[in-house]
Amino acid sequence: MSRTQSRFWLILLLTILSLVISLPQEINLNPHLFGRSFNVHLVRPDLKLSLGSYDFSRSLDIKLGLDLAGGTRVTLDADMSSIAPENQADALDSAKEIITQRVDLFGISEPNIYSQQAGSAYQIIVELPGLDDPQAALELIGTTAQLEFLTPIYDQTSTESAQPELVDFQPSTLTGADLQKTTVDFDPNTGQPVISLQFSPSGTEKFAQLTKEYLGKPLAIALDRQPLTAPIVQSEITTGQAVISGDFTLEGAQLLSKQLNAGALPVPIKITSQNTITATLGADSINQSVRAGLIGLSVVVLFMIAYYGQLGLIASVGLFIYGLVTLSLYKLIPITLTLPGIAGFILSVGMAVDSNILIFERMKEEIRAGRAWPVALELGFGRAWDSIKDANIATLITAFILFNPLNWSFLPTSGPIRGFAITLALGILISLFTGIFVTRTLLRLFYHGPRSIKLFSSQS
């Protein structure tokens, strides 16, 4: 089997997998054959993989954003007047983290939560698609985080010979107001990440009393009445500096530190605006976008076949594979599809054809120069590559700026713009694969010279 044939089978396998992933979860068919009608009901299962201790599962439904699924967008202002300037960024980050946890309690799929700073204004934007009870969510989101240190309660009926049984925890006088800040450090002996706590002068006295009274016993910490951790007191601590150690990963230690800081640096937040988008508007937008995408795709395919004949037909097959791969990746990553995101996809369809046009024009130049078509085919791909690469890199840089992964305040940070950027960037990368790898392989196998039928000649 030649290398080209191997690539073709790889492309065929990829196309079949992408087709299965792209299908709707349920398909009902009612074919009529030989005078009889049949009722066929097909169900596509979700993706579940298990490799040793690693489990991977993914729902293969398209995730719709706020503008398509409907829902609520909330803007919250964070009052930083009581927070030291050097701690304001951490306080905003911690407030965002705790709001994310509160939103998770509602089981909302793909919420979009991000913070932004404009001058002295600190804001947190919360987008909640498909929210059934927005008022309850807003009441929970809009409250200031409450951090509590809880002491253990033991069963007093235990006999002297038996170990007392831990039955519950109760709030102590030590709260988040007594905690100045937490940071992630590393144990100098083990190299494991730990969380360092620094208490205020009043908190130092309270904490010293607790560690003396509950030496060898658990001291739980809860945020918004949700338990975070319950470390065992190893010694009496009178310095106001403590360390929580354990089998933390770096990500786990950073998350716990943010949660503790949310209570240590309680930022008063208030809702300044709330916009509700109905699902009806989202359904209309989806229908119009799908219609526009199909019309645009049809026009592109007709143009390619009419102008380039068999070359255009094969390029259209590559475009079909491009659409399947893109949709399947939207489901696998997954990507929350917004209206601007659909626009980014449609724009990338046009750019996917750009590379084929550049290649075909290069091929025509080589054929006019007297070279045989197989040589012109390879030269066309080789000499068009620089132009294709430069154009797509420029677009990828633009998508990177729009996505703004570093949350620079002078660049856009809104979810819809980021949705546009990510679908555009993903479309560019996939179009490079289908334009260079897929279409080239199909041409090598199925194109046999400029003898194809054309609706009109493109030769100059």
Q: What is the pLDDT of residues 133-171, one digit of tens each?
A: 666 666 666 666 678 899 998 876 655 556 778 888 888
Distance of alpha carbon 169 from the chain centroid = 37
Highest mean pLDDT among 78-87, 275-284, 345-354, 439-448: 439-448
| pTM for this predicted structure | 0.62
Fold adopted by 147-264: Gyrase A; domain 2 (3.30.1360)
Instruction: Using DSSP, state whether 457 is helix, strand or coil.
Output: coil
What is the pLDDT, as a whole number, of residue 412? 66
- Distance CA(245)–CA(318), nearest Å, equals 54
**What would the mean pLDDT of 282-287 be, rounded to a whole number?**
68
CA neighbor of 91 nearest in space, from 145, 142, 149, 150: 145
- Distance CA(435)–CA(445), nearest Å, equals 15
Task: State how far the alpha carbon of 311 is from the alpha carbons of 186, 289, 370, in Å.
Answer: 60, 29, 19
pLDDT: which is higher, 412 or 42:
42
What is the pLDDT, as a whole number, of residue 10? 93
What is the pLDDT, as a whole number, of residue 370? 84
Quickly count helices (H) and strands (E) in the chain.
Answer: 12, 19
CA neighbor of 395 nearest in space, from 445, 355, 440, 439: 355
* In the predicted structure, residue 413 carries a pLDDT above the cut 70: no
DSSP, residue by residue, 235-287 = S---SSEEEE-SS--HHHHHHHHHHHHHHHS---EEEEEEEEE-HHHHHHHHH
* In the predicted structure, residue 258 carries a pLDDT above the cut 60: yes
Highest mean pLDDT among 205-214, 243-252, 292-301: 205-214
pLDDT: which is higher, 133 or 385:
385
Identify the weakest region by mean pLDDT among 21-25, 36-40, 300-304, 370-374. 36-40
Question: Could you say which architecture CATH assigns to the domain 71-145+269-275?
Answer: 2-Layer Sandwich (3.30)
Confidence of residue 459 (pLDDT cuts 50, 70, 90): very low
Instruction: Using DSSP, state whether 314 is helix, strand or coil.
Output: helix
**What would the mean pLDDT of 126-132 be, rounded to a whole number?**
71
What is the pLDDT, as a whole number, of residue 80? 82
**What would the mean pLDDT of 168-197 be, rounded to a whole number?**
87
Confidence of residue 259 (pLDDT cuts 50, 70, 90): confident
CA neighbor of 347 nearest in space, from 302, 392, 293, 305: 293
What is the pLDDT, as a whole number, of residue 14? 93
* In the predicted structure, residue 445 carries a pLDDT above the cut 80: yes
Highest mean pLDDT among 143-152, 162-171, 254-263, 371-380: 371-380
**What would the mean pLDDT of 352-365 be, rounded to a whole number?**
86
- The pLDDT tens digits of the residues spanning 289-338 come to 778 778 878 888 898 889 888 888 888 898 889 988 998 998 888 887 77
What is the pLDDT, as a whole number, of residue 369? 86
- Distance CA(167)–CA(151), nearest Å, equals 11
List CB contacts of 434: < 8 A, sequence separation 6 or more. Answer: 318, 319, 321, 322, 325, 352
Classify residue 304 by its DSSP letter: H
What is the pLDDT, as a whole number, of residue 269? 78
**What would the mean pLDDT of 206-220 be, rounded to a whole number?**
90
CA neighbor of 128 nearest in space, from 292, 279, 8, 281: 279
Using only the alpha carbons of the chain, give its radius of gyration. Answer: 30
* In the predicted structure, residue 460 carries a pLDDT above the cut 60: no
| CATH class of segment(s) 3-22+278-446 | mainly alpha
* In the predicted structure, residue 420 carries a pLDDT above the cut 50: yes
Identify the weakest region by mean pLDDT among 54-58, 161-165, 225-229. 161-165
* In the predicted structure, residue 406 carries a pLDDT above the cut 80: no
Classify residue 61 by its DSSP letter: S
pLDDT: which is higher, 209 or 448:
209
Residue range(s) occupied by CATH 3.30.1360.200 in the chain: 147-264
- Distance CA(418)–CA(110), nearest Å, equals 14
What is the pLDDT, as a whole number, of residue 342? 82
Residue 107 Ramachandran class (φ > 0 left, ψ -120 to 50 alpha, else beta):
left
Residue range(s) occupied by CATH 3.30.70.3220 in the chain: 71-145+269-275
Residue type, 395: T
* In the predicted structure, residue 109 carries a pLDDT above the cut 60: no
Residue range(s) occupied by CATH 1.20.1640.10 in the chain: 3-22+278-446
Distance of alpha carbon 16 from the chain centroid = 25
